[in-house]
Structure 1
Amino acid sequence: MCGRYAASRGAEDLAQVFGVEKWEPEEALAPDWNVAPTKEVLVVLDRPLKDAPDPRPVRQLRVLKWGLVPSWAKDPAGAARMINARSETVHEKPSFRRPFAQRRCIVPADGYYEWVTAHDERQLEVEGKKKRARKQPYFVLPADGSVFAMAGIYEFWRDRTLPDDHPLAWWATCSVITAEAETGPLAAAPQEGPASLADIHPRMPLMLTPDRWDAWLDPARTDPDELRDLLAPPPGGLMRAYPVSTAVSNVRNNGPELLDELAAPEEATLF
């Protein structure tokens, strides 16, 4: 799955990387090293400009809320549970089927966090005290330091309790598509710990390599079979992972130090 990630690149940098034609500087978000569900995030999408005479899609950098709210939902209460869509079923699930066919986006990230529980530390005792099972966070990122382009879908939801001219009458929300984690060796495996992404977690965000960006964002592509071909996993060996401080487990912590690589997993604590 993908429940937390880092996004520290600025809007101007992302606009250059993805060939964005339209973005609003006043909507730029501050760097976030601990992006959590329901937060506002930057996404790349191709869509005609509102009220523009030219109907052609324009590549835009937009601010959306992470946690998809289906257009037919009565309220947005379930958004935090809709942060991920499985690549195997995104084309058929009622909440995701229409956005997958018509509204696809890229969610740029530095990388994502995933937690591993040591197999030998379920509930051990040390000197009569129980030792809490260690959930060691790892940061997973492209080995070459490039932008991690996560495949996403987005949707619009109308809050019928508000008038048309209210600034919050429309919600724009998104989900990150996940796939089976790679079982092959990491580009740079940590000295201690998992040797593959599958050893960290069975799921991972679907990474789109640059050769797929245009096809994925193209709203003219609506054939489900053709779109599903774009969900194929990228070549192996592109990612690396390393342990980071458990400080990232608290969503209130936010700063570049969360990405600092540890020489080894942290020790478990006693309680």
Structure 2
Amino acid sequence: MCGRFALTATPKEVDEAFSVPDLEAFPPRYNIAPTQPILMVTAGEPRQPGSNLPDRRSLLVRWGLLPAWVKDTRDFPLLINARSETAAEKSSFRAAMRHRRSLIPASGFYEWRQVGGKRTQAYWIRPRQGGVIAFAGLMETYAEPGGAEMDTGAILTTGASRDIAHIHERMPVVIHQHDFSRWLDCRFQEPRDVADLLRPTEPDFFEAIPVSDLVNKVANVGPEIQERAELISASEPPKAERGKARPPDPAQMTLF
């Protein structure tokens, strides 16, 4: 699955990769988490008759797809990922797979590997060649009971490529630039016509960098969470067991 990712590319770099020149300025984001707004690129209306420019538009959506038929969001799970193997058949994703496929600009993603029991090792997984990449996404506009509308989205996943399969069995689907138009074309390309794009990346496309557990907290949003860290040893005791417990910080107690 993909539960955290980053977009640290500049708006200019995103424009150059996705051909969406109307992007508003945005800061680098090092720790994007579910329910937060994420940038999506979709097919749009042609800019002018006879134009050969890609007809794409960008928008912000909530990460966590809500199908249009959901009646009570409190009883519905947060769909941040969709399995690409079954998305075209599942009621939650079927309509979006047919009509609202999208691209999600990213600089890489985070994944966790279990090490000795319940402890986990976090990894920052980025393309070896650098640059901005595109996750395959699905978008759905949800109409709330009061009439307000909210754009929501999910990331499509597939089996992990062999260079990162030792960390986790799943990974985001990456759409390469030469396939952008075909993936976004929901008018003439049905889900079966783009099924060949829903595959793991080629070997060695990504590199996995061990990082600290700073990424675990949504409040940590700086570049330091991507700094290389020492691997957790399988024999290393959990943090709670290391040394003597510290007294509680009085400043923290004021939060309660």
TM-score when scaled to structure 1? 0.80
Aligned with 2:202 (options 235, 242, 245)? 235
Secondary structure of residue in 2 paired with 1:200: coil
**What is the correspondence of 1:168-183 to structure 2 with a 5 Å cutoff?**
169-183=148-162
Shift of 1:21: 4.3
- Which residue is 1:153 aligned to? 138
Q: Distance in 2 between matches of 1:138 and 1:248?
A: 9
Contact between 2:39 and 2:60, CA under 8 Å: does it hold in 1? yes
- Which residue is 2:70 aligned to? 73
Contact between 2:70 and 2:76, CA under 8 Å: does it hold in 1? no
Moved over 4 A (4+): none
Q: Distance in 1 between matches of 2:102 and 2:18?
A: 11
- Which residue is 2:239 aligned to? 269
1:31 alignment partner AA: P
Q: Would you say 1:107 and 2:104 are equivalent positions?
A: yes
Identity of aligned residues (%): 35
Q: Distance in 1 between matches of 2:133 and 2:184?
A: 16
- Which residue is 2:252 aligned to? none
Aligned with 1:207 (options 174, 177, 184)? 174
2:78 alignment partner AA: R
2:159 alignment partner AA: E
Q: Distance in 1 between matches of 2:226 and 2:206?
A: 15
Q: Deviations over 1:222-266 (max 9, x none)?
A: 423212122133322211001011111111111011111125447
Q: Would you say 1:9 and 2:9 are equivalent positions?
A: yes
Shift of 1:153: 0.7
Shift of 1:98: 0.8
Q: Deviations over 1:36-68 (max 9, x none)?
A: 10000111111228xx997x9831121111001
How many residues are paired up?
236
Q: Distance in 2 between matches of 1:77 and 1:9?
A: 34
Contact between 1:139 and 1:243, CA under 8 Å: does it hold in 2? yes
Q: Distance in 1 between matches of 2:66 and 2:81?
A: 12
**What is the correspondence of 1:56-95 to structure 2 with a 5 Å cutoff?**
58-77=55-74, 81-95=78-92
- Which residue is 2:119 aligned to? 134
Secondary structure of residue in 2 paired with 1:199: coil
Aligned pair in 2 of structure 1 residues 221, 235: CA closer, same or farther (>3 Å)? farther
Secondary structure of residue in 1 paired with 2:166: helix
Secondary structure of residue in 2 paired with 1:81: coil
Q: Would you say 1:36 and 2:36 are equivalent positions?
A: no
Q: Distance in 2 between matches of 1:11 and 1:65?
A: 19
Q: Deviations over 1:64-102 (max 9, x none)?
A: 110011111114446762000001001100010111111
Contact between 2:13 and 2:132, CA under 8 Å: does it hold in 1? no
2:10 alignment partner AA: G
1:83 alignment partner AA: I
Contact between 1:44 and 1:61, CA under 8 Å: does it hold in 2? yes
TM-score when scaled to structure 2? 0.84
For structure 2, which runs of at least 5 residues remain unmatched after alignment?
242-256
Aligned with 1:260 (options 224, 227, 232)? 227
Contact between 2:183 and 2:189, CA under 8 Å: does it hold in 1? no
Contact between 2:68 and 2:141, CA under 8 Å: does it hold in 1? yes
1:225 alignment partner AA: R
Shift of 1:150: 0.6
Aligned pair in 2 of structure 1 residues 10, 80: CA closer, same or farther (>3 Å)? farther
Q: Deviations over 1:128-158 (max 9, x none)?
A: xxxxx42110011111012131110101111
